[in-house]
Each structure stands twice: as C-alpha cells, then as structure tokens.
Structure 1
C-alpha cells in the first residue's frame, strides 16, 4: 500500500498495529487490549483526516496509485459476463477507452470508460487514460449498438483529459468529443455516468452526458486540472492548491452547483482502502438508478435529459 503525505499518520498506526499483532502471535504476552486501543486510534485518525480534506487532497486521492480503475469496477461488478468490444471501425482500437457488454444480475449493460495503466508498460499502452478521437468514436459506436438493442449505458470517467497530440487533432479530436455530447443528449436508452477518479476537461465530457451523473466522494470534475490552471494563471505549478480551491471541482461543489445528481460515499479511508466495498456500493447505485430510469419511455428519457442540461448554469440577458 502506498500512502500520500497527509495519510502518513495512518501508515504509522497501521505499522504499530501490525507489530503489536506479531508480538501477540510470537510470544505469550496478551496484547489484545493494546491492539484494540491502536485500532480505535486508527479509526479515529482516519475519520479526522478524511473529514477535513482540502480540494487538492481530494485531487491527490483521485490519482492514488492503489485506487481502482474502470476495468477493476467492471470485472468486479460483472464477473464472467463481461465481454469487451474493440475498434471504431475506422482507424484503430484505442486502448485508453474500453467498452463492452456485461450483466448486473439479469440486466445487461453497455459499459464504457477510460482505462489507466498500473505500471510503466501498461500506462504507455493505455496512453495514461487519455483517449484519441478513435476512442470517442468507439464509445459512440458502442452507445449506438446499445440503443439498437435497448441496452442501458454505464460510463466510468477517469481521465486527465483527451489526448492533446498533433495526430489526435489531425484526426478530429474536438469534433469527436462534440459529436459524442450531441449524440448522448438524444440517445434513447438510459445513461448512467459514474466519475470514479479524474474528470478533466472535454476528455471527461466526451462520455459524460447522462440521465444520472454520480461522483465518488474523493474525485474531481473540472474544465481544467489544478496544475494546468496554475501554470496558465501564475506560470508555475506551485499554486495548484490555490487553483484547486478556486476551480470548485470537488463532488460537494458539483452537487451544490447542480451539475451532478449524487455523491457516492466511499468506504472509510477512500476507495483504495476497501476496493471490494467500493465495488459493491457502485454496483448497487447503478442498479438503483436504472430501476428508476427504466420506467421512462424513450421520449421521456430524452426530454428529461435535455431539460436537465438546458437548465444548468446562469444566463443573464
């Protein structure tokens, strides 16, 4: 387990607990009471740390190396029913954007999301979760297939942004994202969007239009990352913490601004501390929201979705 700077008190207590348990196992000394005291202190410290997180600390948590990625959620939720589908039928198969069919119980879903890597080799393969235009076109192809067979769509967002390379621009990165936003507003099946990590820029918006948009507690959603904002405004990354506060990018900010529908509480210590419980929570949320959405006709779905986005923001004449 890796720890962020503000998690170091937790690391120290976990190490103390581990040593205490080893002493109890290797000797006749009764350390039960001591272990209980450390466990109590550990629980209190966790609650205190995660109760008072700054915007920048939540950004750090969203990037935690042990945090589960899209494929982790899909495999845990769907098990052996997961069938990955590939290619945009035009350029190539973008490894940064994954998609396919899977089941929760007896209900089929089309799962789509950005996928990051776990080490240097897989990070390069997945292009650090930054999709090219063909990734967004693959996502749209899968959404259209889901619409054809009346299968609901679930999108997992976790990206530092769409790939900004010259070749991506040559192949129409902006058009691909804009096309997805347009087509998702009028897709005739339920769309549930879950932000599981970073939700940056148009890279997130390209699969981010939904009937229900959920954000895990320690994630962020913004037009720009704090580092990029800092480098533009102050010509330095040193002000990223100030930028994070100013951008109002946390789940609490998004809910207050009515840009998302629900904040999904993470287990104590964050999603990386208890992955299995996180998977179960997200699975139940998807099923719950789909039960509500399936009662609407395709026409009602589209109208409600478009009204929802039309009412966002403030217009002053």
Structure 2
C-alpha cells in the first residue's frame, strides 16, 4: 500500500501570475500535469510511491486549482508551456520527467517535443494526442463554446457529473473528492476561465505532435483505464502511439475509467515510480 500522505497546496508568484502546486519527496524531479476539470489534487495519492525516490511536483495549470484563472487568458499550448517553463525555472530545474493526464497529455508531449533535452521521459494517462478528434471531443468542445451548455457543464452539478462519468465505479468518488474538484470554481469568472481552458489548445498543436512524435527519443510509458467514457477512443489513441513509438510500454487497467488516479492510485503510482526510476 502506498503512503497516504496528502501533500498540501503551495503557491508561488512567477511570470506575473500565481501558480499552485504540490510537492513531495527528493531526488530527480518528476512533473505531473492534470487535465480538465481537475488539478494537482488528482495526483495526491499517486505522488507518495513516486516520492520514495523522486522529487514529485504536481502543478495546477493556469485556469485550474489554486492557479490564477483570468477570464481573458489564452489557454493555448504556448500559454501553458510558458507557465511550465516559469515554474521549473523558479525552482531551478532543467531536466524533468513528465506525466500528463487528459488535457495534460498533449501539453506535456508538446512541451517535451519543442524543448529537446529537457524531458527525461514521458508518461501518459487517458489522454488525447492526435488531431483527428473523436466525436466525444468534438461534443465536449461544442458544449463549452455555447453559453447555455457551458454554464451547465461548469456548474457544481455539471462538474460532479463529469467526474462521475469518468470512473468505472462511483464508490471510488466520494462526496469529499467531488467537493475538492468543484471548490476552485465557485465564481462565475472562474467557471468561464475553466471552460476556456478546456478548449484553448488549437488543432495545429496536435498536428505538430502527430508529425514529431515518431522522432521522440525519450522513454514513453502509458498507463490507462480501459473503461473510459470521457475519451472512449483512448485505446485507439494508444494503439496509434504504439505504432509511432514501438518501444513505448503500455498497460491498460481493466477496472478503471478515465480518472484512474482516483480508482487505483496504488497501481498507478507503483507503475509510474518504476518507470521514472529507470
């Protein structure tokens, strides 16, 4: 069983904005990037196994968690990557292993591809990478672009429902967890920023990922929940990744959904710890 310590949220001021993050352990640094609509909180039970041998940093991306949520933020690849660069520079970190889930997957991958030598390895969990978006992704983007459906989706009830859809067994998602997910988005402006952060990544960035991914020269590890109703084509995404990167190691967890960190944090943490220790 993993250590159940929950790292506290810290904040720093970098590049003119506040960034929230959680930190645990010491050693070679590992950066964990969440997706929509979560935050570093999603990684809280995955961090301890990795932290036995590494310095683990889970960042709240702009628009999420304890980080700033400007309504007029760009929330594109360049904006997220500037935040990552500023965060790592503030901590004096050059090389880092990185993991990305959901929205954090393309951000982590694009960041690594455009900054050769900085990423020591990449782990990907239930994410999207390619510009041929599934109907589920198109529907999600459409929902967040329309004011009426956007307000419903980003409301406390809407966010709770999205989280419930993202687990195979709702017993793994108690009310206390849902409250933590919803808490950063109490204001209307925060909910609008959340919506914009969910649709700011331009298709051109995914085209760049698809073109450059076969040339990626760092180790890649995939751990994913097979019962994903949020990204139902996730197995196809990772099968394509395997064709692009035959050396990538892929493990599917048959009893987990999209938010596998909530459903089996011990297995996820152990598998990632093994990968990052190589």
TM-score bin (small chain): 0.3 to 0.5
TM-score where L is the length of structure 2 = 0.39
Q: Give the greater-gyration-radius structure (CA).
A: 1
TM-score where L is the length of structure 1 = 0.35
For CA contacts below 8 A with separation 6 or more, give which structure has more relative contact order. Answer: 2
